[in-house]
A and B are shown apart, each in its own frame.
Chain A
């Protein structure tokens, strides 16, 4: 069983819809949670970073972490065609000095005009 599970999709929604992307994890040692966005034939770029349980908002994006359920989410409001990309969740353990990330498979998202 993978440490981090993410539905690969693909997910296709109309412009303006609210998008929900999710990951589950099995290792309670994960303390830091990130969402990366990857456009086609490009490298991933950091979109959101969070440490504690709860919500973190940045513009149209909200990252949610529920450590008790080992579940993280990324919500995109008022989705735009430019949001079409693959979204990868990533996690890091709290061990001091450990900088390795464990990634989910990525969810391919298409926003239709």
Chain B
């Protein structure tokens, strides 16, 4: 069955380190999205892509970057992790108006 996966599921890192969160989907969707979810804020869009080599900034993109070299993957990189980036991160992929979410990555920055 087609699916969307995220890895790692849990990550603890230190302030200042570079961290990359992986997202892989097998639906062949062109659209992929990264969100963070925090209490009191719901889901906020970090970056998104509408196809290979296309990336766009979302609402809370500072300190994050993405690259899209193929249809299946959209890795999210935290260039220099900060404690404010402690959160649960969700990747989603979609076609048209529907988005399908991955299981999430819980990131703690100490």
Contacts and interface: CB of A to CB of B under 8 A. Distances in A.
B104 A41 contact: yes
Contact of A43 (B44, B50, B94, B104): B104
A110 to B, nearest CB: 17
Interface residues of B, number: 24
A103 B41 CA distance: 9
Interface residues of A, number: 24
A105 B92 CA distance: 18
Contacts of A41: 104
Interface of A: 6, 8, 32, 34, 36, 41-46, 49, 88, 90, 92, 97, 99-106
Given A6-B42, A88-B43, A100-B58, 19 more contacts: A36-B101, A42-B103, A42-B104, A43-B102, A43-B104, A44-B43, A44-B90, A45-B100, A46-B99, A88-B42, A92-B97, A99-B31, A99-B50, A99-B97, A100-B45, A101-B43, A102-B45, A105-B40, A106-B43
